[in-house]
Amino acid sequence: MKALAARRHHRLMPVVLLLLALLVTGGVYAALAPAPASADTATTDDIENGAKLFQANCATCHGPDAEGRENAPSLIGVGAAAVNFQVGTGRMPMQSNGPQAIAKPRQLDAEETEQLAAYVASLGPGPSTPTAEQVDPELGDASNGSAVFRTNCAMCHNAVGAGGALSEGKFAPALWETTPTHIYEAMLTGPQSMPVFNDATLTPEEKRDVISYLVEQRDGSAGGLDLGGLGPVSEGLWVWIVGIGALIGCSVWIGAKSS
Amino acid sequence: MSEHQKSSADLVRAAGAGETDRFADPGVPAHQNRMADTDPRAAKRAERQVVILFVLSIIGTIATIVVYFAIRPDGTTASVRNANLALGLTMFLSLMGIGLAAVHWAKTLMSDHERVEERHEQRSSDEMRAAAVTVLKDGADDSGIARRGVLKGAVVTAVGLFPLTIAVPLISSVGNDWDVSKFRHTMWTKGTRLATDPSGRPIKAADMTIGSVVHVIPDAPEEERRTHHWITEKAKSVVLLIRLDPADLQEAEDRKDWSYEGIVAYSKICTHVGCPVALYEQQTHHLLCPCHQSTFDVADGAKVVFGPAKRPLPQLPIAIDDEGYLVAQDDFNEPVGPSYWERLK
């Protein structure tokens, strides 16, 4: 310590201090800087691999240049978010025609999905996948999310996200199992029948609030059995079959003579 | 009160002229003893069962008090559910035990001999009826109501008018006011900005991408949006704003300038019975009402394509202002919501 104190007037001391300060600043920045979004890290390799995956899995319907066909939309400008949602939830590649593409076990793994997303994102500017912070339910305001969800989403997806029917065999799926990232991407891109809620009409904070509200619903109901949260259908069935059945049973027992 | 064998004989109806006595009243079936009536061991067992049921109730009551103090909700959904569940089950045990014990006691141990109670004749004797009429007549004569005509009129009028003190305020409060013209107009006026529901941000035309849907309220300061009047008026003013590909949009000649580059605004109140129509299918441009499945084609003037609704949804003509925000050109083209008796302008 003494030796260090003796050298503090050395003429090279400012240089040493400056170097130390730069090192500390750089170190702190490296530790605290936000991780860049995955879409930005796509390399040309990713895009090339993505193009191959596209030709193998998607081009039959969406066309060799993703320009779309009669029954398959153009993918130019849909962005990485749409690919990550559609492929990540297994909706695409679609296996059969029907009223709507349904979620199934994913056909491409996470890395392949990312490469495919990088390729589609390279075709034209579109919404990119959200960061982990943007979809963190812990950071959202579930109370505001409830108000936003009631106005914008509950008419199709049910008040607690249990899903509901649309016309001609289409339906709004239940949101119990959907990951926060996929919920965010669905709002951003409007897959299939769902309308688009872009960042101007529903801000990223509001989207996170909605996710927070939906994740909170997964704890179930404070009142006990929520019977699927389906409202009068399941509750009515329960009351009419189990409730009235029990009342009839009691009446028969009270009226019967004892042996 | 008499034993049943005796009374049942009285009920047998004698055959009258031209009638045949088709069947005799069988009377009450012979009394059958229960096991507990004849076998003291069975009676003892029944008694024990009743005691057990009462003890279950006692345990339920103690358990209710124990779980009330032991399981406190700490604010999480699961803890509230557990506390409710434990309280509910123990209270069920407490009350159900008493109920089951009482019924079982009555059925097995209390007397179950059938008893018939004769009903006395309902008609009073002639003397009593005559006396009652006399008393009433004496009272009327005594009051002099037949002689004093003005008094008679006064009492009838006073008693007849009194119900108005209840009826008039009651009926008047039901409707609050009878101004039906309120149904014809909403808060939308020329130049009112369209804002998002519930946050109240004004919307720019550039904010809407194709396929976008925004649930819209008229722009107003937040304090005003909290007033009772505004909330009441909001019920009529809600709008669904949708941007379609202009190529998909079919517009009537007189409505060509009511949309802005594929952005259209329609009332969210169903023309059937007034539910909020909001299930929009982006690919078919169909707007579905959740109550009775009325379906409107947004690409074609919100005309009804399915369901019980009779009229298209009223359209809100929109434009943009100098700053690029979407504004209303005017109120809706017709009164919103279901038909009512004077809905024509």
Question: pLDDT tens string for chain A (259 positions)?
Answer: 566 667 777 778 888 888 888 888 888 877 766 554 444 556 788 888 888 888 888 888 888 888 888 878 888 888 889 898 999 898 888 887 778 888 888 888 888 888 888 888 888 888 888 888 888 988 999 999 999 999 999 989 998 998 888 888 889 999 998 999 999 999 999 898 899 998 888 999 999 999 999 998 888 888 878 888 888 888 999 999 999 999 999 999 998 888 7
Separation of alpha carbons B302 and B308, rounded Å: 14
Test B213 with A197 for CB contact under 8 angstroms. yes
Q: Which residues lie closer than 8 Å to B337 by C-beta, 6 or more apart?
A: B183, B236, B267, B269, B270, B271, B274
- Beta-bridge partners for B216: B196, B239
Lookup: tokens for A55: 């030709």
Chain B partners within 8 Å of A152 (Cβ): 213, 215
pTM of the predicted protein model: 0.72
Q: pLDDT of chain B along its 345 residues, tens only? A: 344 444 444 455 555 555 666 778 787 788 888 888 889 999 999 999 999 999 999 999 999 999 999 998 888 888 999 999 999 999 999 999 999 999 999 999 998 888 888 888 889 999 999 999 999 999 988 888 888 889 899 999 999 999 999 998 888 777 666 677 777 888 999 999 999 988 889 999 988 888 899 999 999 998 999 999 999 899 989 999 999 998 888 888 888 889 998 999 999 999 999 899 989 998 889 999 988 989 999 999 899 999 999 889 999 999 999 998 999 999 888 888 887 655 554
Among the partner-chain residues B81, B211, B213, the one whose CB lies closest to the CB of A222 is: B81
Q: Backbone phi, then psi, for A157, in 5-degree steps?
A: -90, 5
Test A194 with B108 for CB contact under 8 angstroms. no
For residue B299, which of B264, B337, B329 has the smallest C-alpha distance? B264
A141, A146, A148, A151: best mutation site toward chain B, by most B Cβ within 10 Å? A151
Half-sphere CA count of B6, side-chain side, radius 13 A: 7
Residues B296, B309: contact at Cβ < 8 Å? yes
Test A196 with B203 for CB contact under 8 angstroms. no
Q: Which residues lie closer than 8 Å to B99 by C-beta, 6 or more apart?
A: none
For residue B242, which of A209, A68, A190, A124 has the smallest C-alpha distance? A190
For residue A200, which of B206, B28, B174 has the smallest C-alpha distance? B206
Can you give the length of chain A in residues? 259
For residue A102, which of A120, A117, A87, A90 has the smallest C-alpha distance? A90
User: How far away is chain B from the Cα of A212, in angstroms, using its nearest Cα?
Assistant: 14
Strand segments (E) across B268-324 = 279-281, 286-288, 295-297, 303-306, 318-320
The residue written with tokens 């109806």 in the block is B13
Task: Determine whether B137 is exposed, middle or buried from the number of CB atoms within 10 Å of its CB (0-12, 13-18, 19+).
Answer: exposed
